[in-house]
Amino acid sequence: MRLSQKGWNNVLIFACLFMIILFNYTSNMFATNSEKMAVEPLVPNSKLVQAIDFSGIEIQRLGASWRVLSKIPTATISNPEEYVDTWVQQPLEQIESVPLVLDSAVSLPVVVWLAGNEEGLIFEFVIDHQEQSVYVQNKMTGNWYALKYSMLPQFIPRELLDA
């Protein structure tokens, strides 16, 4: 049985359509197996940050500028607005489950006060200096985020990390 030129054209068209559908279906299968977790900043950038309390050092909005209140006498923070910008703009990758941390990990609570909210956003930084891993838990939602160890001083003043 021989096919005419129109017949072969139809065979090629249907073969191409089949391949397109096959590739589309398999890419959807692979994408659902490796679920992409949300990448978002800790504080929504639509909200105005009034203060960040690092449990010993507090950055407060004072009009258009910022002031630093510290219980640590050696703390010197020259650019507090950089910390606020990092909290609002730096996206973190959300992780699915509670991370496994060693006993050597230390916990550091941070409260972020937003304009118009009666309660602050409470975050717990779980820092393991030996493993050089940092995890952040949003206490309000229960979500966990992974943070690169090298980025930690951009979120928390170095004076608190060295203590």
What tokens appear for 124 in the block?
């717990």
Verify that 26 and 71 share a domain, yes or no.
Answer: no
Verify that 74 and 104 share a domain, yes or no.
Answer: yes
Verify that 21 and 88 share a domain, yes or no.
Answer: no
Alpha helices (H) in the chain, listed in sequence order: 5-33, 80-89, 152-155, 158-162
Contact of 102 with 128, CB cutoff 8 Å: yes
Verify that 127 and 81 share a domain, yes or no.
Answer: yes
- Write down the pLDDT at residue 134: 92
**How would you write the pLDDT of the chain (163 residues) with one tens digit per residue?**
788 999 899 999 999 999 988 888 777 666 544 445 667 888 888 889 999 999 888 999 998 899 988 888 777 788 889 989 999 998 888 888 888 878 888 999 999 999 988 999 999 999 998 888 999 999 999 999 999 999 999 999 888 887 6
Verify that 66 and 132 share a domain, yes or no.
Answer: yes
Verify that 24 and 47 share a domain, yes or no.
Answer: no
Distance in angstroms (rounded) separating the CA atoms of residues 107 and 127 = 6
Verify that 43 and 121 share a domain, yes or no.
Answer: yes
Verify that 53 and 19 share a domain, yes or no.
Answer: no
What CA–CA distances, in Å, run from 61 to 5, 28, 83, 141, 144? 76, 47, 12, 25, 27
Closest CA to 67 of 58, 54, 83: 58
| Torsion of Cα atoms, 147 then 151 then 154 then 160, to 10° | 80
- Write down the pLDDT at residue 122: 95
Verify that 151 and 97 share a domain, yes or no.
Answer: yes
pTM comes to: 0.72
Verify that 56 and 104 share a domain, yes or no.
Answer: yes
Verify that 24 and 48 share a domain, yes or no.
Answer: no
Verify that 128 and 65 share a domain, yes or no.
Answer: yes
Range of the domain at 29: 1-35
* Tally of domains within the chain: 2
